[in-house]
């Protein structure tokens, strides 16, 4: 994720500027502000702005006039209570804004989360850089034999090399042709004066889905937790999970009490269905329960065992 010198300068300038504020402020997150946190081969997450802190959750839950004479332990207790009982609106009172650079095929998964504000870099208006996601060898996986939307074993040797060759060559060729179709050099002047150049809004269609795009993405803490619960999950595609894991670190830095509650009551929690509860009650009563007489399908039985034994 090497940034261009002018990008580095812009970030440094913004980090250098300070102002006094009466707003809730989180020094640890201030320290992280604007810095690119690397993800995948060319992507990043940057925290651009935030509103609120753990105290703001408490203040909103109480609809109070000020921050009061809070003890950290009382705030933690209230926040854990709110999380446990799905009182979600106080968490909506904190807001965070990220700048994200990510491959287009991941952007297409991400955008499915509708309760967020998005400004994407426009390829109707601007020209996309020559940057593509090429998986690291350890992330080059075969199709799973058991899960139609999952990954199986790592690809190795010649097959892995061939995959990487194809991905690299196709992305590069498509981007070369994209610039050729545009007929513009970096200054915007025509490369070949005898050609008009294809409109940007059309030329972009020649790019491959691993081309990087970027956007500003802003959401509230409740919806961020929902995003992270789905995207930091083991069932999520590795590439989006890589972003979710970096974002988890930013949330832990920002609102440590809410993050702790989220970890205990969401990330580390499991849901037991009504049939699973029936099986569990029998087990706790000392009965030996097998899948065949549990009322659970094989798949649910495996999920059940993972829920009560794993974690």
Restricting to residues 243-272, which ones interact with a second copy according to CB under 8 A? 263-265, 267-272
Q: Sort strands 43-51 and 37-39 into parallel, antiparallel or unpaired.
A: antiparallel
Contacts of 91 (CB under 8 A, 6+ apart): 57, 82, 83, 220, 221, 222, 225, 258
Residues 34-73 that bind a second copy (CB under 8 A): 34, 48-52, 56, 59-61, 63-68
Three-state DSSP class for residue 240: helix
Minimum CB distance to a second copy smaller for 216 or for 245: 216
Size of the site for a second copy (CB under 8 A): 139
**Least distance from a second copy to the Cβ atom of residue 249, Å:** 18
Minimum CB distance to a second copy smaller for 94 or for 247: 94
- Find tokens 């946190």 and name the residue: 37
Give the separation between CA 306 and CA 308, rounded to whole angstroms: 6
**Least distance from a second copy to the Cβ atom of residue 161, Å:** 12
Residues 162-221 that bind a second copy (CB under 8 A): 163, 166-167, 170-171, 173-174, 177, 180-182, 184, 195-202, 204-210, 214-216, 218, 220
Residues 110-139 that bind a second copy (CB under 8 A): 111-112, 114-115, 117-122, 124-125, 133, 135
Task: Give the closest residue to 268 by CA, choosing from 211, 228, 236, 217.
Answer: 228
Q: Annotated catalytic, 231?
A: yes
Cα 141 to chain center, whole Å? 21
Contacts of 27 (CB under 8 A, 6+ apart): none
**Least distance from a second copy to the Cβ atom of residue 255, Å:** 14
Minimum CB distance to a second copy smaller for 239 or for 247: 239
Q: Phi and psi for 238 in degrees, rounded to 5?
A: -50, -40
**Least distance from a second copy to the Cβ atom of residue 256, Å:** 16
Give the separation between CA 271 and CA 274, rounded to whole angstroms: 10
- Supply the Cα-derived Rg of the chain in whole angstroms: 24
* Structure-block tokens of residue 182: 């545009």
Among 28, 72, 185, 273, binds a second copy (CB under 8 A): 273
Give the chain's length: 311
Catalytic residue among 46, 200, 204, 231: 231
Residues 87-106 that bind a second copy (CB under 8 A): 89-90, 92-93, 95, 97, 99, 103-105
Q: Phi and psi for 254 in degrees, rounded to 5?
A: -80, -55
**Least distance from a second copy to the Cβ atom of residue 101, Å:** 10
Residue 231 as a binder of a second copy (CB under 8 A): the answer is: no
Active site residues: 231
């Amino acid at each position: 994720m090497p940034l261009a010198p002018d990008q580095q300068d812009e970030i440094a300038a913004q980090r250098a500027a300070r102002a006094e504020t009466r707003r809730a402020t989180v020094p640890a997150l201030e320290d992280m502000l604007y810095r690119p946190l690397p993800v995948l081969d060319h992507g990043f997450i940057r925290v651009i702005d935030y509103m609120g802190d753990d105290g703001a959750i408490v203040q909103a839950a109480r609809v109070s006039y000020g921050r009061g004479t809070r003890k950290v332990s009382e705030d933690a207790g209230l926040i854990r209570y709110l999380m446990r009982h799905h009182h979600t609106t106080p968490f909506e009172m904190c807001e965070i804004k990220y700048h994200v650079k990510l491959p287009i095929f991941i952007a297409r998964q991400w955008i499915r989360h509708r309760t967020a504000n998005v400004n994407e870099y426009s390829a109707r208006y601007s020209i996309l850089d020559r940057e593509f996601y090429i998986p690291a060898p350890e992330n080059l996986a075969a199709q799973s034999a058991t899960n139609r939307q999952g990954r199986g074993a790592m690809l190795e040797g010649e097959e892995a090399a061939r995959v990487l060759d194809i991905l690299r060559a196709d992305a590069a060729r498509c981007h070369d042709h994209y610039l050729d179709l545009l007929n513009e050099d970096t200054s915007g002047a025509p490369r070949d004066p005898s050609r008009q150049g294809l409109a940007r809004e059309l030329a972009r269609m020649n790019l491959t889905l691993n081309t990087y795009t970027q956007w500003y993405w802003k959401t509230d803490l409740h919806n961020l937790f929902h995003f992270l619960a789905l995207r930091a999950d083991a069932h999520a595609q590795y590439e989006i999970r890589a972003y979710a894991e970096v974002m988890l670190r930013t949330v832990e830095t920002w609102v440590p009490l809410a993050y702790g509650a989220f970890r205990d009551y969401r990330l580390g929690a499991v849901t037991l269905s009504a049939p699973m509860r029936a099986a569990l009650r029998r087990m706790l009563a000392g009965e030996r329960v097998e899948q065949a007489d549990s009322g659970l399908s094989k798949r649910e039985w495996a999920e059940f065992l993972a829920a009560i034994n794993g974690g």
